[in-house]
Structure 1
Amino acid sequence: MRIFVFLFSLKSDLKKYRLYYFLLFLGIIFLGIISRKIDFIPLCFGDFLYAVMIYILTRIFLIKHKSIRSAFISLLICYSIEFFQLYQEDWIIAVRKTLFGKYILGQGFLWTDIMAYTIGISFIFITEKIILKKSSYETRFRIKQ
């Protein structure tokens, strides 16, 4: 319930963008789960979508900030989770065997995952800046604040 209060706690234009990001976030989760269930889709595509999802999530919470900040924070989160997979204690291995742990924490460190995260966040950042003309949106709201 609190997430919905948070989604609608800003001015109407920002609420609209935050709602769009939230719907995109849900869509990316759906596509990511589907990508893990279909055998002919490469696993790195799921990692790509995971990075896009993390970026969208940071945009929901950092909507008033420049998108480059969200990109750096998203990379930091993705890289941290990936490098955390090098930690192999019994308790964390047990958590990783759960559905939550499998999808959120992953199971093993791979350099290809780092590459997929970098490409995914770069892709969504560039898409947001160029195709959706995000820079004019950011300028418009930063002046009003």
Structure 2
Amino acid sequence: MPSARGRWAYAGITLLVMALGLASRVFGDRLPAFAAAHLGDALWAAMIYFGCRCLFLPRGARFAAGLSLLLSFGIEASQLYRSPWIDALRATTPGALVLGHGFLWIDLARYAAGIAAAYGLDPWRLCR
């Protein structure tokens, strides 16, 4: 797959997964309880994976998975930091979607599951 075509494909997949993640939050009351509780964070991490694939396509899927884990876990750990300026940022909708609100251990498992699923479903995983 040519690099430009691959980047466009990953950009599209990233947007699709982002839309699914937002929909899982908006329509969570219509989902089974387990899906409503876990799907949003897993899809968020999958979106990060596909975004990394788009940005760093030549580096490969393993690089994207590792970077996605690092970013996801780092953002979750950053929620342990409290300061008025970052709490004000987290109080906005974009800030809450990107930075979250409070550290939860279970979120690390959700992120790992989302990245593992994205890696497993990645249609061009074996391509460089």
Partner of 1:22: 11
The RMSD of aligned alpha carbons is 1.4
TM-score by length of structure 2 reads 0.90
Instruction: Kindly name which structure, 1 or 2, has the bigger radius of gyration based on alpha carbons.
Output: 1
Secondary structure, aligned partner of 1:134 = coil
Where does residue 118 of structure 2 map in the other structure?
Answer: 124
Listed as ranges, the matches of 1:30-49 within 5 Å are 30-38=19-27, 39-41=29-31, 42-49=36-43
Q: CA deviation at 1:14?
A: 1.2
The answer to whether structure 1 residue 91 and structure 2 residue 85 are counterparts is yes
Structure 1 counterpart of 2:45 = 51
- Percent identity over the alignment is 33
Displacement of 1:134 in angstroms is: 2.8
Contact kept in structure 1, 2:41 and 2:110, CA below 8 Å: yes
1:134 has 2:128 as partner: no
- Per-residue displacement from partner, 1:47-90 (whole Å, max 9, x unpaired)? 00000000011101110112101110000000000000011111
Higher relative contact order (CA 8 A, sep 6+): 2
Distance 1:105 1:40 in 2: 25
Q: Are 1:36 and 1:43, in contact at CA under 8 Å, matched by a contact in 2? A: no
Asked if structure 2 preserves the Cα contact closer than 8 Å seen for 1:47 and 1:116, the reply is yes
In the alignment of these two chains, the number of paired residues is: 123
3-state SS of 2:82 partner: coil
Shift of 1:133: 5.6
- Find the aligned partners of 1:43 and 1:92 in 2 and give their Cα distance: 25
TM-score of the pair, normalised by structure 1: 0.80
Moved >2 Å (runs of 4+): none
Structure 1 unaligned residues grouped into runs of 5+: 1-11, 139-145
